């Protein structure tokens, strides 16, 4: 009998193996890196910062987005590629850029979003598909586009969000369900079951109706929604936590280090989640807050983004 040896990357993208990882964090493959892509630094930028796990050291990719733009959605196929979808570059775009994790090289998908879109949520079912939910296509939309991995073929779900809204965030329990939370100005959390993509809406939503919060995922354990802007024009530091699989909500005792919105979320499931960049009523930030998943304790990275930046996208090459 021949026993085939699997690489870490192969294991990461094996659906059965990922389901085992989701149920037992002790046996997770270590994550590789989190990425913060695009945004606005006074002008639109194509910059992609990469934070290596577990050191959290920062580098900047030699090749950034195909154009400077803010408000893209981030999706991840861990072990394979990350995606930055849509955004605004002078005007809204339908472009989907793909970064291969092997060498961080960028290509642009031949088929982009169904139409131009900005401030949508990115949701990931690594090894299977990525989703771009809601956003602003010239008016707010409830549309959900789905990109099947590894072909990157696009379809649009028959059932979209429960309401049209701009600025929701995405979180994911890979292999189980994806969530689109908040948006201008909703506390709603919609849940899409994998692989059927059927939608339900959680009985308990966010603790605040928010616009442009960050979504963070600890797959198999919990999802987090951090910060945002309320309808009263208040920037908040609140971090809500939704326990998987019950979807019960609690609120962390320690929120973000700075109240802000327009934040990118990245995750190293089983280890930590990150909230990067953003803005408040007077400033943009290079701040990267880190939440350790074992305790939900917060620290702030000594090295933040390469510049103060609002409205970037986050994606990650992690353990699931």
The reported pLDDT for the residue numbered 11 is 41
Give the domain extent around 51: 29-317
Q: Give residue 28's pLDDT band: very low, low, confident or very high (50, 70, 90).
A: low
Sign of CA dihedral 184, 39, 129, 96: positive
Handedness of CA 74, 78, 82, 85 (dihedral sign): negative
Whether residue 5 is contained in a domain is answered as no
Is there a contact between 202 and 189 (Cβ–Cβ < 8 Å)? yes
pLDDT of residue 320: 59
The token pair at 64 is: 């950034």
- The fraction of the chain above a pLDDT of 90, given in percent, is 89
Give the chain's mean pLDDT: 92
Residue 177 makes CB contacts below 8 A (sequence gap 6+) with 191, 192, 193, 194
| pLDDT at residue 180 in the model | 98
Per residue in 122-156, pLDDT (tens digit) is 999 999 999 999 999 999 999 999 999 999 999 99
pLDDT tier, 292 (very low <50, low <70, confident <90, very high otherwise): very high
pLDDT for residue 317: 97
Going by pLDDT thresholds of 50, 70 and 90, the confidence category of residue 30 is low
Q: Say if 14 falls within a structural domain.
A: no
Strand 33-37 versus strand 48-52 pairing type:
antiparallel
Strand order in the sheet with 33-37: 58-60, 48-52, 33-37, 313-317
Which of 3 and 142 is assigned the larger pLDDT? 142
Residue 88 falls within a domain, yes or no? yes
Domain tally for the chain?
1
Determine the pLDDT at residue 81: 98
Average of per-residue pLDDT across 33-38: 98
Say whether pLDDT at 93 is over 70: yes
State how far the Cα of 272 lies from the Cα of 233, in Å rounded to an integer: 29
Q: What is the CATH number of the domain that holds 149?
A: 2.120.10.80
- Report whether pLDDT(219) > 80: yes
CA dihedral 187, 192, 193, 195 (to 10 degrees): -160
What pLDDT was estimated at residue 17?
A: 40
3-state secondary structure of 15: helix
What is the average pLDDT across 1-9?
A: 39
DSSP run (H or E) holding 191: strand 189-193
Domain-embedded: residue 307: yes
**pTM for this model (two decimals):** 0.91
**Res. 91: pLDDT tops 60:** yes
- Residue 1 predicted with pLDDT over 90: no
- Residue partners of 300: CB distance under 8 A and separation at least 6: 257, 287, 288, 289, 290
Residue 213 belongs to some domain of the structure: yes
Q: How confident is the model at residue 306 (pLDDT cuts 50, 70, 90)?
A: very high
End-to-end CA distance of the chain: 29
Looking at 22-26, 160-164, 214-218, which range is the least confident one? Answer: 22-26
Cβ count within 10 A of residue 211: 24
What are the tens digits of pLDDT across the range 152-192?
A: 999 999 999 999 999 999 999 999 999 999 999 999 999 99
**Is the residue at 202 inside a domain?**
yes
Element housing 124 (H / E): strand 121-125
Does residue 11 sit within a domain? no
């Amino acid at each position: 009998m021949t026993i085939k040896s699997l690489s870490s990357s192969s294991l990461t993208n094996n659906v059965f193996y990922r389901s085992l990882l989701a149920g037992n964090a002790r046996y997770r493959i270590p994550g590789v890196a989190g990425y913060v892509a695009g945004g606005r630094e006074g002008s639109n930028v194509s910059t992609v910062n990469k934070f290596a796990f577990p050191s959290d050291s920062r580098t900047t990719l030699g090749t950034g987005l195909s154009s400077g733009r803010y408000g893209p959605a981030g999706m991840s196929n861990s072990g394979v590629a990350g995606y930055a979808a849509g955004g605004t570059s002078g005007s809204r775009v339908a472009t989907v850029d793909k970064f291969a994790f092997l060498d961080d090289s960028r290509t642009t998908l031949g088929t982009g979003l169904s139409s131009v879109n900005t401030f949508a949520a990115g949701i990931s079912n690594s090894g299977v598909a990525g989703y771009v939910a809601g956003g602003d296509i010239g008016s707010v939309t409830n549309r959900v586009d789905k990109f099947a991995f590894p072909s990157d073929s696009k379809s649009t779900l028959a059932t979209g969000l429960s309401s049209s809204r701009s600025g929701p965030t995405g979180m994911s329990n890979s292999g189980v369900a994806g969530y689109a939370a908040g948006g201008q100005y909703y506390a709603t959390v919609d849940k899409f079951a994998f692989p059927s993509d059927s939608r339900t809406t959680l009985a308990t939503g966010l603790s605040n109706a928010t616009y442009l919060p960050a979504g963070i995922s600890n797959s198999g354990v919990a999802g987090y929604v951090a910060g945002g802007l309320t309808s009263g024009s208040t920037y908040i530091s609140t971090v809500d936590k939704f326990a998987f699989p019950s979807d019960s909500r609690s609120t962390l005792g320690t929120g973000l280090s700075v109240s802000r919105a327009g934040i990118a979320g990245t995750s190293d499931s089983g280890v930590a989640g990150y909230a990067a960049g953003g803005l408040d009523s007077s400033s943009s930030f290079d701040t990267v807050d880190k939440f350790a998943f074992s305790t939900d304790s917060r620290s702030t990275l000594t090295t933040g983004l390469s510049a103060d930046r609002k409205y970037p996208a986050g994606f990650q090459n992690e353990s699931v």
